Structure 1
């Protein structure tokens, strides 16, 4: 059973057709579809041609005499009823830089896709880039998936390392199935961020600092004064008050890590923290890390956390 319904797929096809946002972009339809299907091995509907590539090319490139939505119900392609994985690849390919170069078209398609996919619990998210152009995937909503991707894309600007990307993936993938790992990895990511910023600024790090002490020292070194606020000083005071409150949350994260996170021995009958709490802390740490790195505004050298911190 497919989760993305034929109703949603038809709605996407209708809206993109009205907007003349052809799924194949700057490619011909057979060249686009050949990236998803082995058209040379699929049968032709036209006796003059030996395979699907030939008859699609004839009727959609040479003559253009098939209806615009032919691909939805054609049993060889069957985009309206194919499995979710294939449909996701179809949508992602329609946004790929090799398919489409117009950034406004990409934004319009992402908006259309997400509007209709949300009803079925899916979304389009950017997962990387090629030559500065975004690459997308279709993923289930929830489980912090949006936060995970946004975090990764932002952190890569300032801590572009496989280590950090691995931590982000681990942290968000573990939220639903292993809350201990999610909490422990979130704490390690925050520690890495703080230490990397402090090292860049030439500030000595006391090995005996707790995580809240490390965060407090980091925030004191950064300039949080808004550049365009009407009352910059008052705004900065408010921001620092918020950060002070976040530091209390981080203290809670550190304590949870000791009780529920990875890195400490557990009894055989130990039961981890509920998922909803792990999701909260992972989300807080994700956004806090982005705030610190963007405020610092420079690429920092990675400083990995010490075992048992």
Structure 2
């Protein structure tokens, strides 16, 4: 007989686990509500067969010998198991097994064969990464199939990864899918496509600034680059020396630090363009291609800058909602 949802979390953790029971519970709650169906476009048997040998796992129904037959009986013939049955089934070790089992399951959930909608997959990855980050894990793009990202587990071990953790939190609060996608794209591309990561870092800062300016009914134009948008944003947030009390002498330092981050992100994006991002690279240009270390610098700076600005925006009193976007 399968254990209940709550009982599964009373089992001792496998010694190889870093993903806590708290995180696992949060992940399962998300998949039961916003992330379902976990099997995507496949049947449940077909999905689980990508991860487990269902002919070797036993049945919990005395009428059958294998887990495969068990699942067919209770999920296809009778449908008398709930959609989240696999999370509470000890045979699949999602609640109390090694991290690699849970991470493999989550990676398969967003595989292009299972989840063909690229935007939906990116949204799921964004939320899963937010939940996994406190335990040092994330899903990141490591290759593509037919132009679609394939995600794999990766440890968060650098400053850029830590900054992205907070960027995911901010993206959730902003509740804009395109910003969540930008964060996920930055994560996945740092190692596999540094130039994409750098370009997306620039877009992320632009999106954060424009979101703040829109909500505060401040105008901007299509010609505004990253430094210009950051200047307008810091001004409307009263982070510049002219807009705060003279006693706040640190304001000038804060402004200078933020502008340095903005200039760094803009500069790396311009450097990427100077090296060329495609068509007809020369041999010399290929040798000068930007590397993951450049991408980590851009992504870490962009995430740090964007999160600081948005959190400041959240803390400051806002005007009433605008009737239309000032930037349009």
Taking structure 1 as the reference length, the TM-score comes to 0.52
Change (3 A) 1:206 1:78: closer
Taking structure 2 as the reference length, the TM-score comes to 0.49
Q: Aligned partners of 1:155, 1:302: CA distance in 2, in Å?
A: 22
Give the equivalent residue in structure 2 for 1:11.
15
Give the equivalent residue in structure 2 for 1:275.
292
Structure 2 residue 217 is matched with structure 1 residue 213 = no
Give the equivalent residue in structure 2 for 1:156.
172
Shift of 1:177: 1.1
Unaligned runs of at least 5 residues, structure 2: 1-12, 27-47, 68-89, 107-131, 141-151, 241-245
Structure 2 residue 305 is matched with structure 1 residue 288 = yes
Give secondary structure in 2 for the equivalent of 1:174.
helix
Q: Aligned partners of 2:164, 2:322: CA distance in 1, in Å?
A: 21
Structure 2 residue 246 is matched with structure 1 residue 242 = no
CA contact (8 A) 1:196 1:302 kept: no
Structure number with larger C-alpha Rg: 1
Within 5 Å, which residues of 2 pair with 1:1-309? 10-11=14-15, 42-43=57-58, 85-88=100-103, 114=135, 123-124=136-137, 139-142=153-156, 144-158=160-174, 160-224=175-239, 233-260=248-275, 262=277, 267-269=281-283, 270-271=285-286, 272-297=289-314
Q: Aligned partners of 1:156, 1:24: CA distance in 2, in Å?
A: 19
Change (3 A) 1:90 1:248: closer
Give secondary structure in 2 for the equivalent of 1:157.
helix
Q: Aligned partners of 2:205, 2:300: CA distance in 1, in Å?
A: 12
Number of residue pairs aligned between Structure 1 and Structure 2:
220
CA contact (8 A) 1:190 1:289 kept: yes
Q: Provide Cα deviations, 1:171-229, integer angstroms capped at 9, x if missing partner.
A: 2211101111111111111112222222332322233333212221221211349xxxx
Give secondary structure in 1 for the equivalent of 2:173.
coil
CA contact (8 A) 2:161 2:187 kept: yes
